[in-house]
Amino acid sequence: MTTALLTDHYELTMVQAAMKAGTAQRRSLFDLFTRRLPEGRRYGVVAGLGRAIEAIDNFRFGDEEIAFLLTNDIIHDELAEYLANYRFTGDIWGYPEGEVYFPGSPVLSVEGTFAEACILETVLLSIYNHDSAIAAAASRMTAMDGGRSCVEMGARRTQERSAVAAARAAYVAGFTSTSNLEAGRTYGIPTIGTAAHSFTLLHDTEEDAFRAQIAALGENTTLLVDTYDVEAAIRLGVELTDGRLGAIRLASGDLAIMARQARDLLDDLGATSTKIMVTSDLDEWQIALLQGSPVDGYGVGTSLVTGSGHPTCGFVYKLVARAESEEPDAPWVPVGKKSKGKNTLGGRKFAMRRLGADGRAETEVIGLGTPPANDGNDRELLVPIYRGGELVYTATLDDARRRHQESLAELPLSARRISKGDPALETLILDAEGDETTNPYQAAPIVTNI
Amino acid sequence: MTTALLTDHYELTMVQAAMKAGTAQRRSLFDLFTRRLPEGRRYGVVAGLGRAIEAIDNFRFGDEEIAFLLTNDIIHDELAEYLANYRFTGDIWGYPEGEVYFPGSPVLSVEGTFAEACILETVLLSIYNHDSAIAAAASRMTAMDGGRSCVEMGARRTQERSAVAAARAAYVAGFTSTSNLEAGRTYGIPTIGTAAHSFTLLHDTEEDAFRAQIAALGENTTLLVDTYDVEAAIRLGVELTDGRLGAIRLASGDLAIMARQARDLLDDLGATSTKIMVTSDLDEWQIALLQGSPVDGYGVGTSLVTGSGHPTCGFVYKLVARAESEEPDAPWVPVGKKSKGKNTLGGRKFAMRRLGADGRAETEVIGLGTPPANDGNDRELLVPIYRGGELVYTATLDDARRRHQESLAELPLSARRISKGDPALETLILDAEGDETTNPYQAAPIVTNI
């Protein structure tokens, strides 16, 4: 399925104008980054790289796409021919998926001709802005789960294809499974499910419903116990399974009180291994509040798939350097616009996480020019993704999950605080001479800047 | 592209258990509704029906989907056979797309066997919760635009396929066009674009960039004028087009002041027909604030595609009635769970908007049983969508757009107030005897309730 039209109209008309002017082939370097984290967030989480790679590989203008663009007078013949043969031939590097990031981190850099790099802007931003927003929320939740399991259950609360991407992003950030079957099929994420109130209501009695569920799914199933009377339902579930019931789900009410009462009752009835899963508008604060409660799993929906108050990241994709002319070896010129509060750091960057003697991260170092000598305490952050149009990034979804865990473990403990605060690391910006310079990002507002 | 796996795991396991228990064929009626509007919102907007119809028509389990489900032990053979032949054969009715709704409005009702109606839950909720959230935000924006044009430009700020759905929902609610090419191709929505800062920065001078853009796209193009110096850029654009420049775009700074200065300058230079488009984190409040400014078009991104603070609607899909047995003519039993704050109104409903003598809407009347005699002041809200599995709904996207405009015009003027408030109409709930009863929804919290 082509991703080529998941693109803003102006990307193509800009390329058309540049072709006519003879500037479309100038080597160009675009950085994808955010000027600041959402208010109060202490770190961001890179997610979406795996999907971005798929999107780049499927960025193909077929006959239908070309016909649409020509018929609607969006492009002319010269551009049509270029697009029909479009393949990305440049270089891409960036932060690996799962890595944490800070204001100004060059999360993804795309170098190619202006034409080939420019037209990837929209789809790359769509993917990064969505997936990283979900991963950031997910990471705050798993940081609060006390080693219990967080299950992604938000499909119904977000657009149907976003739901699949959200399940993937949540998995990167430590969720253990999803209710979303397409996410299971597409990404191999374990899927799980319980039952809905409709299943109980379909049957003449709760007992009929429970018997039906146990008969079909086994004693290890999870029974939803709050359709009528929680206590009676728990007693019934334990009785029907001789105490071997897999789990119960609580989906309403004061979950801390109910989980405690349910645990006591289950234990009294001898069902000591029956687990308790809770759902019902959970977010990172609710999950944190339940740390002292006998809960075994959290099903998280709305709050996860809407980024817990921050459904998008504020990533932008900015031209930071371009060649002086169309010649392949023309010298680079760093560029940046001058609008107030929207300054861009021109030129190609390096990025490193500086670690203290204890191995804890201390600073995000981003600089132009030559990286400072690495005394062993700098962890390089940028990895190659495409080289000359060839994919060289091979990390899997499980690698991303691991990368996230390790990156988070390396941050100061304050990063995991749930309260609002400043970014966990300061970003140090080095100019081309290696001198510290003002961070043009930290103080600037998130802007749409289309 | 099949939508069958855009489904929560438990929908299939519930059907499996019901099949084994002999209850899967019980006639069942599910209502899709919300218990309350997002805080402070005065009305909701139905959007997504057209996409829901596509999703139902593409809800097909092919060999690959069945193989995935069997291999992962999610379903067994009997259900596999059922799913392989799955076609929705029941009835669906609801509010037409574009219609406004209130707490408790039965926006969509699905009647069929438990099996066939149950498994549509996830994808229907995904579509309605997303699309209606975007349309509600869009409607508040177009209500404030003073007859100017609102353009959807949010693709980069939301998941790439959500972006296409968002452009569609915004169009339903009065946006005039979109930057999203796939939305143009898929739904025929007019696409437009301007230029980005990267285009100016690609060129050696702003003049080179403007000349290139005008040469390729004509004098009627929209020049982005805030890369370096707004005044100089406007003078340049006017000069290069002999005053015939189509439009300028302002993308940063205090837009009210800048639009006024730009208009004065354009007029001074004789470019009286050059339009001014503004972008930069606009939302309904910003749009309202600019009503007194000489602005011709608003490009709206982040705030639109994230539902302006409410990215999801809180729609749920609840079993409200089911047959007593599997017999096709078995009597119906209204059902509803008893959890505190999550009561459901059992049984099949009618829905009407009661109009006053002046044609203004006064009350949303939702009832069980026979509708009260219509004295000409009740507008029926429910329309048939599927009958016996056959699609009977024929309204187009433009019909939805019209429906929205007309429904909004019919509401009390207070509905269009931008400030927080109560729903513009009260919902009157009639019981099976036609007597007024308590609205079980109005006071209840939005719940995830998976």
SS (H, E, C) B117-138: HHCCHHHHHHHHHHHHHHHHHH
In this structure, are residues B121 and B449 in contact, taking their beta carbons and an 8 Å threshold?
A: no
| pLDDT at residue B439 in the model | 67
Backbone φ and ψ for B73, nearest 5 degrees, come out as 60, 30
Predicted ipTM?
A: 0.96
Q: What would the two tokens of residue B85 be? A: 């032949």
| pLDDT at residue A449 in the model | 35
Indicate the pairing of strand B297-300 with strand A390-391: unpaired
Residues of A in contact with B132 (CB under 8 A): none
Long-range contacts of B288-293 (CB under 8 A, 24+ apart): B288/B144, B288/B418, B289/B256, B290/B255, B290/B256, B290/B259, B291/B144, B291/B146, B292/B256, B293/B255, B293/B256, B293/B259, B293/B260
Residue A445 has pLDDT above 50, yes or no: no
The verdict on a CB contact (< 8 Å) between A68 and B185 is yes
Domains of chain B: 24-51+89-130+320-437 (3.20.140.10), 136-309 (3.20.20.70)
Question: What ranges in A143-176 are assigned the alpha helix state H?
Answer: 160-172
Considering only CB atoms, A10 lies closest to which of B179, B306, B337, namely: B179
- Per-residue pLDDT band for B446 (boundaries 50, 70, 90) equals very low
Residues of A in contact with B227 (CB under 8 A): 337-339
Residues of B in contact with A191 (CB under 8 A): 9, 72, 74
Q: Does B13 touch chain A (CB under 8 A)?
A: yes
Considering only CB atoms, B193 lies closest to which of A8, A69, A215, namely: A8
Q: Quote the mean pLDDT of chain A.
A: 94
The verdict on a CB contact (< 8 Å) between A14 and B337 is no
| pLDDT at residue B450 in the model | 35
For residue range A346-403, list pLDDT tens digits in order. 889 999 999 999 999 999 999 998 888 877 889 999 999 999 999 999 999 999 999 9
The structure tokens 């008893």 sit at B338
One-letter amino acid at A443 equals A
Q: Does A132 touch chain B (CB under 8 A)?
A: no
Which residues of A, range 78-107, sit inside 8 Å of B by Cβ? none
- A–B: how many Cβ contacts below 8 A? 382
The verdict on a CB contact (< 8 Å) between B281 and A447 is yes
| pLDDT at residue A441 in the model | 59
Contacts of B429 (CB under 8 A, 6+ apart): B104, B345, B366, B367, B436, B437, B438, B439, B440
The verdict on a CB contact (< 8 Å) between A8 and B336 is no
The verdict on a CB contact (< 8 Å) between A337 and B228 is yes
Residues of A in contact with B301 (CB under 8 A): 448, 450
Q: Quote the mean pLDDT of chain B.
A: 94
Residues of B in contact with A318 (CB under 8 A): 197-198
The verdict on a CB contact (< 8 Å) between B228 and A153 is no
For residue range B305-361, list pLDDT tens digits in order. 999 999 999 999 999 999 999 998 999 999 987 655 556 678 899 999 999 999 999
CA of B101 vs chain A CAs: smallest distance (Å): 18
| pLDDT at residue A80 in the model | 98
- Is A436 in a helix, a strand, or coil? strand
For residue range A409-426, list pLDDT tens digits in order. 999 999 999 999 999 999
For residue range A298-353, list pLDDT tens digits in order. 999 999 999 999 999 999 999 999 999 999 899 999 998 765 545 667 889 999 99
The verdict on a CB contact (< 8 Å) between B182 and A305 is no
The structure tokens 């600037």 sit at A444
Q: Does A147 touch chain B (CB under 8 A)?
A: no
- Per-residue pLDDT band for A433 (boundaries 50, 70, 90) equals confident
Residues of A in contact with B282 (CB under 8 A): 448
Residues of B in contact with A181 (CB under 8 A): 5-9, 12, 68-69, 74
For residue range B340-353, list pLDDT tens digits in order. 555 667 889 999 99
For residue range A42-74, list pLDDT tens digits in order. 999 999 999 999 999 999 999 999 999 999 999
Which residues of B, range 218-247, sit inside 8 Å of A by Cβ? 226-229
Indicate the pairing of strand B383-387 with strand B390-391: antiparallel
Residues of B in contact with A252 (CB under 8 A): 339-342, 447, 449
One-letter amino acid at A399 equals D
Which residues of A, range 41-80, sit inside 8 Å of B by Cβ? 55, 64-65, 68-69, 72, 74
Indicate the pTM of the whole model: 0.96
- Kindly state the average pLDDT of the residues B441-447: 42
For an interface test with B, which of A198, A210, A225 has the most B Cβ atoms less than 10 Å from its Cβ?
Answer: A198
Which residues of A, range 323-352, sit inside 8 Å of B by Cβ? 335-342
Residue A283 has pLDDT above 50, yes or no: yes
Residues of A in contact with B179 (CB under 8 A): 8-10, 450
Residues of A in contact with B1 (CB under 8 A): 1
**What is the spatial distance between Cα B22 and Cα B325, in angstroms, rounded to a whole number?**
9
**What is the spatial distance between Cα A427 and Cα A425, in angstroms, rounded to a whole number?**
6
**What is the spatial distance between Cα A423 and Cα A442, in angstroms, rounded to a whole number?**
10
Residue A210 has pLDDT above 80, yes or no: yes
For residues B183 and A1, which has the higher predicted lDDT (pLDDT)? Answer: B183
The verdict on a CB contact (< 8 Å) between A160 and B10 is no
For residue range B357-392, list pLDDT tens digits in order. 999 999 999 999 888 887 788 999 999 999 999 999
For residue range B14-52, list pLDDT tens digits in order. 999 999 999 999 999 999 999 999 999 999 999 999 999
Q: Does B156 touch chain A (CB under 8 A)?
A: yes
Nearest residue to A237 (alpha-carbon basis) of A227, A226, A248, A228: A248
Report the share of chain A in percent with pLDDT over 70.
96
Residue A443 has pLDDT above 70, yes or no: no
Residues of B in contact with A180 (CB under 8 A): 6-9
Contacts of A166 (CB under 8 A, 6+ apart): A130, A131, A134, A152, A154, A155, A158, A304, A305
CA of A362 vs chain B CAs: smallest distance (Å): 30
The verdict on a CB contact (< 8 Å) between B118 and A339 is no
**What is the spatial distance between Cα A258 and Cα B380, in angstroms, rounded to a whole number?**
43
In this structure, are residues A319 and A30 in contact, taking their beta carbons and an 8 Å threshold?
A: yes
For residue range A128-162, list pLDDT tens digits in order. 999 999 999 999 999 999 999 999 999 999 999 99
The verdict on a CB contact (< 8 Å) between A279 and B448 is yes
